[in-house]
Chains A and B, each alone.
Chain A
Amino acid sequence: MRLIQKVGDWFDLRLQLGKPIRETAEHPVPRETASWFYVFGSAALTCFMLQIVTGILLALIYVPSAGEAWNSLQTLNHGIALGWFIRALHGWGSNFMVAIVLIHMVQVFLFGAYKFPRELTWIVGVLLLLVTLGMAFTGQVLRFDQDAYWGLGIGASIASRVPVIGPWAVNLMLGGPIIAGATLSRFFALHVFIVPGLLIVFVGVHLLMVLKLGINEWPMPGRIVRRATYLQEYRELTHKQGVPFVPSAVGKDILFSGFILLSIAICAVYFGPFGPGGQPDPTIIQTAPRPDFFFLWLYALLSFLPPSAETPILLIGPAVGIVVLLVLPLVAGEGEKSWKRRPIAVLTTLLIAVTLGTLTHLGQHTPWSPVMDAWSSQPIPSEYLRGRTALERRGALVFQAKQCHNCHSLDDKGGQRGPALDSVALRLTADQLIRQVIQGGGNMPAYGKNLSPAETTALVAFLKTLHPASQPPARDASRAIALGASEVTPR
Chain B
Amino acid sequence: MSAETGMSRRAMLVKIGLLLNGIVGVVLAVPIVRYLVSPVTRERQIGYESWLSLGGLEQFPAGQTRLATYRNPAVNAWDGETADIACWVRNVDDQNFQVFAINCAHLGCPVRWFAQSSLFMCPCHGGAYYQDGSRASGPPERGLFQYHYKIEDGKLLIKAGEMPTPGQPVANKAGGKPTCA
Contact = CB atoms under 8 A, between A and B. Distances in A.
B118 A282 contact: no
Interface in B104-118: 106-112, 114, 116-118
Contacts of B36: 172
B79 interface: yes
Given A160-B167, A283-B84, A289-B124, A402 B139 contact: no
A150 B110 contact: yes
Interface string A439-457: 0100111110110000000
Contacts of B78: 65-68, 181
B139 A305 contact: yes
Contact of B107 (A157, A183, A287, A372): A157
B163 interface: yes
A182 B37 CA distance: 13
Interface in A148-167: 149-150, 153-154, 156-162, 166-167
Given A177-B48, A302-B139, A170 B165 contact: yes
A160 B166 contact: yes
B124 A158 contact: no
Q: For chain A, which range describes its interface: under 10, 10 to 19, 20 to 34, or 35 or more residues?
A: 35 or more
A372 B121 contact: yes
B123 interface: yes
B80 interface: yes
Contact of A180 (B72, B112, B130): B72
A449 B39 CA distance: 44
A321 interface: no
Contacts of A401: 116
Contacts of A168: 40
A406 interface: yes
B67 interface: yes
Given A65-B80, A182-B76, A171 B117 contact: no
Contact of A66 (B67, B80, B165): B80
A175 B81 CA distance: 17
A315 to B, nearest CB: 10
B161 interface: yes
Interface in B28-63: 36-37, 39-40, 48
Given A158-B107, A178-B85, A446-B136, A286 B112 contact: yes
Interface of A: 65-68, 149-150, 153-154, 156-162, 166-168, 170-172, 174-183, 279-283, 285-289, 299, 302-303, 305, 307-308, 310, 368-370, 372, 375, 401-404, 406-407, 417, 440, 443-447, 449-450
Given A280-B80, A282-B110, A289-B109, 14 more contacts: A65-B78, A65-B80, A157-B107, A157-B108, A160-B168, A174-B163, A180-B82, A182-B39, A183-B82, A282-B85, A283-B69, A288-B123, A307-B139, A407-B126
17 contacts: A67-B82, A157-B107, A157-B108, A177-B48, A177-B163, A178-B163, A179-B163, A180-B76, A282-B110, A289-B123, A368-B125, A368-B126, A369-B125, A404-B117, A440-B137, A447-B117, A450-B117
Interface of B: 36-37, 39-40, 48, 67, 69, 72, 74-86, 102-103, 106-112, 114, 116-119, 121-126, 128, 130, 136-141, 161-163, 165-170
